[in-house]
């Protein structure tokens, strides 16, 4: 469940964004670079841009004078430009997914920078790695993979509603706590458009309860008014069940190796590089909040995979503390 925000945008908010003068703002140079990418998308997407948190934060900064704080100031400007050039034509919730991936790359860069790696080149070419860095006069090719969790997908649905609550016409959403109950087994990009379409119906109807084909949306105070069979109730309760994961090796094999998972992709990518190219994998894993996994078991499970390249692993997630570790390749360290 999530409480919707309480602010409301003026009717001319888009005009205010269009006329925004970055030279009179106190944004850092790096954030001003990002601003040039984001404002263009806001003006193109208009109301839809409110559903992407980073765009929404920028709109709130420009229109409502809310502070815009992102830790991009220590990044090379070329890296920011090359990274945000990857946005291309991504829009809506797909753009949010891409921005999460970009943030994972930035997080990885900041971690490597703290370990004395320095950027050599950030220009993206076909089949190149995400980060090319240097340390002790040696060049390293870092490939970054970001694994999302189911709760991130659900949080995007809440962000979708929260963003639209900023519009004056959607007063019924503001400062209220809504819950989303999925009727489907999994949330993925094949069924996402249908789910967002149902949320649009919920917002257009402006009623407290929506009971659709794929999901239910309701004011948390009116949960008892839902018509739900025993299977729906069980599925709802299961969303809050904390799973204690003991067989971590099987879990990692299932989500990172099988079906061309991220580790499998890293292995395939590594084979395109010679030994002297110093290929290194970086895996950013947002662990679902409902999974209770021992950190030591996670590390040992990755170490047993016996990779031919070095691997940095960054874990964490919603309500999860960060746990980061390094797995050396089977024949040595860096």
Same-domain pairing of 89 and 133: yes
pLDDT computed for residue 45 by the predictor: 94
pLDDT computed for residue 27 by the predictor: 83
Structure tokens at 59: 């709109």
Same-domain pairing of 81 and 199: no
Same-domain pairing of 235 and 261: no
Same-domain pairing of 211 and 230: yes
As a whole number of angstroms, the distance between CA 120 and CA 71 comes to 21
Please report whether residue 159 resides in a domain. no
Burial class (CB within 10 angstroms; exposed 0-12, middle 13-18, buried 19+) of 215: buried
Same-domain pairing of 16 and 118: yes
> Considering 126, 147, 168, which residue would you say is the last residue of a domain?
147
pLDDT computed for residue 268 by the predictor: 94
Q: For 100-125, what is each residue's pLDDT tens digit?
A: 888 888 888 889 998 999 988 767 77
Please report whether residue 235 resides in a domain. yes
Range of the domain at 19: 2-147
pLDDT computed for residue 319 by the predictor: 61
**∠ CA 86-90-96, rounded to 5°:** 95
Please report whether residue 96 resides in a domain. yes
pLDDT computed for residue 334 by the predictor: 45
pLDDT computed for residue 142 by the predictor: 94
Structure tokens at 194: 């249908």
Helix or strand (DSSP H, E) at 219: strand 215-219
Cα distances from 208 to residues 173, 192, 235, in angstroms, run 9, 22, 21
CB 243 within 8 A of CB 287: no
pLDDT computed for residue 228 by the predictor: 61
As a whole number of angstroms, the distance between CA 210 and CA 182 comes to 12
Structure tokens at 63: 């229109």
Same-domain pairing of 271 and 227: no
CB 50 within 8 A of CB 163: yes
Count CA within 13 A, CB hemisphere, residue 83.
Answer: 26
Structure tokens at 196: 């967002």
Same-domain pairing of 202 and 293: no
Same-domain pairing of 312 and 190: no
Residue 308 contacts by C-beta under 8 Å, 6 or more apart in sequence? 267, 270, 329, 330, 331
Total of domains in the chain? 3
CA nearest 314: which of 98, 111, 149, 75?
Answer: 111
Same-domain pairing of 183 and 142: no
Q: For 124-175, what is each residue's pLDDT tens digit?
A: 777 789 889 999 999 999 999 988 776 677 888 899 999 999 999 999 999 9
> Considering 147, 168, 199, which residue would you say is the last residue of a domain?
147
CA nearest 9: which of 199, 203, 165, 172?
Answer: 165
As a whole number of angstroms, the distance between CA 191 and CA 215 comes to 11
Please report whether residue 162 resides in a domain. no
As a whole number of angstroms, the distance between CA 279 and CA 128 comes to 11
> Considering 217, 241, 265, which residue would you say is the last residue of a domain?
241
Same-domain pairing of 285 and 229: no
Please report whether residue 189 resides in a domain. yes
As a whole number of angstroms, the distance between CA 141 and CA 112 comes to 12
As a whole number of angstroms, the distance between CA 111 and CA 134 comes to 14
CA nearest 50: which of 100, 9, 103, 16?
Answer: 9
Same-domain pairing of 12 and 135: yes
Block mean pLDDT (10 aa), the chain, length 334: 88 95 83 89 95 92 83 80 84 84 86 90 77 92 85 82 95 92 77 89 93 88 68 59 81 90 94 90 84 89 92 80 88 52
Structure tokens at 326: 């390094």
**Which residues are registered as beta bridge partners of 218?**
179, 209
According to DSSP, residue 187 is labeled -
As a whole number of angstroms, the distance between CA 140 and CA 123 comes to 15
Please report whether residue 160 resides in a domain. no
């Amino acid at each position: 469940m999530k409480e919707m925000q309480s602010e409301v945008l003026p009717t001319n908010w888009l005009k205010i964004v269009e006329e925004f003068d970055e030279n009179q703002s106190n944004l850092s140079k790096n954030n001003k670079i990002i601003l040039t990418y984001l404002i263009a998308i806001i003006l193109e997407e208009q109301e839809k841009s409110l559903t992407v948190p980073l765009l929404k934060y920028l709109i709130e900064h420009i229109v409502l004078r809310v502070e815009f704080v992102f830790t991009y100031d220590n990044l090379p400007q070329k890296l920011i430009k090359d990274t945000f050039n990857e946005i291309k034509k991504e829009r809506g919730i797909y753009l949010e997914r891409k921005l999460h991936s970009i943030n994972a790359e930035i997080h990885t860069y900041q971690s490597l920078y703290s370990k004395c790696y320095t950027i050599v080149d950030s220009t993206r070419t076909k089949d190149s790695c995400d980060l090319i860095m240097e340390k002790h006069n040696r060049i390293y090719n870092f490939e970054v993979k970001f694994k999302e969790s189911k709760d991130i997908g659900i949080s995007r649905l809440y962000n979708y509603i929260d963003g639209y609550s900023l519009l004056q016409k959607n007063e019924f959403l503001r400062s209220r706590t809504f819950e989303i109950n999925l009727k489907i087994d999994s949330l993925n990009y094949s069924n996402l458009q249908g789910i967002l379409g149902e949320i649009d119906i919920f917002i257009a109807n402006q009623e407290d309860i929506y009971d659709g084909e794929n999901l239910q949306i309701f004011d948390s105070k009116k949960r008892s008014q839902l018509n739900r069979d025993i299977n729906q109730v069980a599925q709802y309760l299961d969303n809050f069940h904390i799973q204690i994961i003991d067989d971590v090796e099987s879990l990692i094999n299932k989500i990172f190796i099988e079906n061309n998972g991220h580790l499998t992709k890293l292995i395939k990518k590594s084979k395109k590089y010679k030994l002297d190219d110093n290929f290194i994998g970086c895996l950013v894993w947002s662990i679902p909040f409902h999974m209770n996994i021992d950190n030591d078991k996670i590390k040992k499970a990755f170490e047993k995979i016996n990779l031919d390249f070095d691997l940095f692993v960054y874990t964490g997630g919603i309500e999860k503390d960060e746990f980061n570790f390094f797995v050396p390749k089977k024949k040595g360290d860096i």
